[in-house]
């Protein structure tokens, strides 16, 4: 059954149809049909954004472009899900120059190709520069910032998958924590005006190395801000974005298309969700309100129970959830258990001090941090532990430094070990 996108009762219709075993699909909007950009053949399945029904808030024009319009801007992690959307929206604000930095050659190629087409289609004159490299390379960062006279940095580069970072602890810390340190120090040295870190709700009372690595990145920016005023640092925390790589939503869709089972970690686990364009739009506006050292929280709405989400996605594909009874239902749901580092419920705030901003969906938090002279010494200790692969020391260090952190796994048990293979001598 197809439902029109222009119908203001769309959400109500979808909810009405959920109990029935019908596949619900959406047809393009009337304006797209009339313009000829799409036809009735362009049906699509109901997406998670249609299920969650978040009310979009119109952006405030004076905030949207303040930190990017007519400026030289760099986005790190430009090929990722958040980084690429930031690039799209920044380009539409007509920066003087947009520099794309990513260590993935394919990701960098794809976003450059897409943005070039967008600039041509919408007559956007901003030049695009691609830089292939990592935020763990201080020399490259400083040369790039100086050469292109960067004024604003959106720092989206990060390893973000909890289970992968849990099994690659040192690389996660080097990229997320020390990569932020190197980028921030290069920004200060080169006179960058605004530096905005894309953070995560997993940084709050974390049980994972990924979350801890991001909270330490926040601590670095808070400490550096107190040391000088040449660069204005700010951080934006939010939860899961829909459709990002590794997201549960495309995984569920793939599992349903393959006949199941749909894998859920725990019956009561919940997560916050937000669309990628909405998150990027709010990040741009938050950056324009930064005073220095700010931690911004995005209003993520109500948390969603993942088991309920699985049931809804199965039903809207026209299938029934299988029970234990024989021949009852078509798609089964399998409870797999939480992975190391995963939490039942995510939070956005360590402490309770929150104030509003000019935007109803953006809040500002006040949280404790260490002075730079103390944090610098602690980071030196962490760096030495990483260089010597001392996982026990890394775990102890993180739990001592990051407020509320309690790592669930024994890092030494999960970290990669090199196996010695004896090859036969050549004849």
Alpha carbon distance 123, 115 (integer Å): 11
Q: Are 79 and 99 in contact (CB under 8 A)?
A: no
Determine the number of helices (DSSP H) and then strands (DSSP E) in the chain.
17, 18
Surface-to-core class of residue 407, CB atoms within 10 Å of its CB (0-12 exposed, 13-18 middle, 19+ buried): buried
Instruction: Give the count of alpha carbons within 13 A of 101, CB side only.
Output: 26
The token pair that represents 92 in the structure block: 């539409």
**How many other CB atoms are found less than 10 A from the CB of residue 21?**
11
**Each residue of 290-310: b (16+ CB within 10 Å) or e?**
beebbbbbbbbeeebbbbebb
Q: Is-catalytic flag, 395?
A: no
Alpha carbon distance 68, 407 (integer Å): 38
Q: Are 102 and 149 in contact (CB under 8 A)?
A: no
Can you list the pairs that 126-130 forms with residues at least 24 positions away whose Cβ atoms lie under 8 Å?
A: 126/91, 126/94, 126/95, 126/96, 126/97, 126/98, 127/97, 127/98, 128/98, 128/100, 129/97, 129/98, 129/99, 129/100, 130/99, 130/100
Those residues with Cβ within 8 angstroms of residue 373's Cβ, 6 or more apart along the chain or in another chain: none
* Catalytic annotation, pick one of 160, 174, 202, 343: 202
- 3-state SS of 251-277 is HHHHHHHCCCCEEECCCCCEECEEEHH
> What does the DSSP assignment read for 48-93?
HHHHH-PPP----HHHHSTTTTTSEEEEETTTSHHHHHHHHHHHHT
The token pair that represents 120 in the structure block: 């041509």
Phi, psi of 130 (to 5 degrees): -105, 135
Element (H, E) at 354: strand 354-356
Active site residues: 202
């Amino acid at each position: 059954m197809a439902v029109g996108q222009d119908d203001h009762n769309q959400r109500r219709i979808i909810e009405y149809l959920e109990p029935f075993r019908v596949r619900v699909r959406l047809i393009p909007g009337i304006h797209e049909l009339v313009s000829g950009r799409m036809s009735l053949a362009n049906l699509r399945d109901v997406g998670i954004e249609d299920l969650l029904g978040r009310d979009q808030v119109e952006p405030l024009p004076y905030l949207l472009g303040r930190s990017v319009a007519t400026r030289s801007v760099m986005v790190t992690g430009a090929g990722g899900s958040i980084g690429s959307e930031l690039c799209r929206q920044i380009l539409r604000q007509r920066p003087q120059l947009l520099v794309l930095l990513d260590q993935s050659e394919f990701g960098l190629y794809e976003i450059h190709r897409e943005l070039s087409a967008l600039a041509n289609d919408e007559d956007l004159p901003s030049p695009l520069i691609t830089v292939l490299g990592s935020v763990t390379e201080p020399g490259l960062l400083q040369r790039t910032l100086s050469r292109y006279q960067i004024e604003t940095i959106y720092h989206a580069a990060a390893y973000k998958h909890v289970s992968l970072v849990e099994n690659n602890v040192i690389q996660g810390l080097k990229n997320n924590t020390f990569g932020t340190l190197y980028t921030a120090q290069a920004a200060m040295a080169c006179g960058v005006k605004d530096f905005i870190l894309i953070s995560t709700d997993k940084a709050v009372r974390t049980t994972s190395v990924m979350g801890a690595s991001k909270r330490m990145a926040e601590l670095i920016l808070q400490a550096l801000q107190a040391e000088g005023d040449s660069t204005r640092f700010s951080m934006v925390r939010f939860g899961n974005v829909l459709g990002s790589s590794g997201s549960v939503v495309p995984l569920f869709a793939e599992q349903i298309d393959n006949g199941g089972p749909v894998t859920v970690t725990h019956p009561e686990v919940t997560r916050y969700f937000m669309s990628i364009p909405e998150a990027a739009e709010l990040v741009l506006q938050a950056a324009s309100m930064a005073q220095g050292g700010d931690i911004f929280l995005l209003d993520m709405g109500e948390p969603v129970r993942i088991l309920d989400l699985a049931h809804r996605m199965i039903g809207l594909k026209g299938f029934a959830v299988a029970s234990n009874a024989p021949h009852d239902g078509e798609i089964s749901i399998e409870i797999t258990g939480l992975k190391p580092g995963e939490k039942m419920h995510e939070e956005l705030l360590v402490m309770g001090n929150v104030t509003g901003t000019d935007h109803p969906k953006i809040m500002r938090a006040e949280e404790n941090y260490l002075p730079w002279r103390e944090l610098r010494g602690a980071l030196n200790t962490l760096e030495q532990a990483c260089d010597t692969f001392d996982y026990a020391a890394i775990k102890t260090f993180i739990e001592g430094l990051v407020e509320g952190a309690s790592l669930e796994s024994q890092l030494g048990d999960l970290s990669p070990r090199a196996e010695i293979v004896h090859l036969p001598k050549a004849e």
